[in-house]
Amino acid sequence: MHGLGNDFVILDAREAPVEIDDARARFIADRKMGIGCDQLILLEPSYAADIRMRIWNPDGSEVEACGNASRCVALLIGGGSIETMGGIIAGSVEGGVATVDMGQPRFDWQDIPLGYAMETSSMPVGWKELQSPFAVNVGNPHVVFFVEDADRVDLATLGPEIESDPLFPERVNVNAASIEETGIKLRTWERGAGLTLACGTGACATAVAAVSKGLAKGPVRIFLPGGHLTIDWERGGSVRMSGPCTHVFSGEIDL
């Protein structure tokens, strides 16, 4: 499945368990030797929700949340509650568009987490042209840089440098965003995955940052290389993300 080109291999382990480790995740995600995807998703039974979703990046690391994958899973199961490492989220489907309630964002430096205490709404740090980011946890950690033109930022170089900076003990997702008349243009370097056509949690983090800084009002349209998402958030509330998602094919792999 994919959400705006952010693509996933989804393994259904609700009736029979499937063991995944970092090596197996890397193999399945490999676009030449395996199936190929931005993230590997494993669906399992849940005692706390309708389904449990686990997420692996192409580098084999297991992560807490993935917004586009959550929408794909919501479409796959027809809506309901989804347990993730980042918390329980709720998904609904209408007319091929999936909406996911990602819960409330967290802003404390310990919740990102950062290596030491500092202001998160305008961090006193920078990397070349990317300065004073907004940090927020929307199920996984993000920093958002507002720039004049997101397309001109060299995220292929700066993304991995920021992701692995010691300031971020669990690494971090890196967003370059520019405010436009019709919404916000966004490019994201995803932790453990690199540049992708769309990042759902990145869109959520960027909308939260823009509303918090008075740069936008919800609902906010976020334009990504693969298409656009609509993010609705008001202070003190939860983040709701809506957009299309697509089932590409079903099959089997011999592991």
**Active site residues per annotation:** 66, 199
Half-sphere exposure of 170 (CA within 13 A, CB side): 15
Pairing of strands 87-94, 220-224: unpaired
Supply 98's token pair. Answer: 């999936």
Q: Say if strands 6-12 and 39-44 run parallel, antiparallel, or are unpaired.
A: parallel
82 vs 88: CA distance, rounded Å: 6
Please state whether beta strands 62-63 and 6-12 pair in parallel, antiparallel, or not at all (unpaired).
Answer: unpaired
Q: What span, in angstroms and rounded, lies between the C-alpha atoms of 59 and 191?
A: 9
Other C-beta atoms within 10 Å of 156: how many?
A: 10
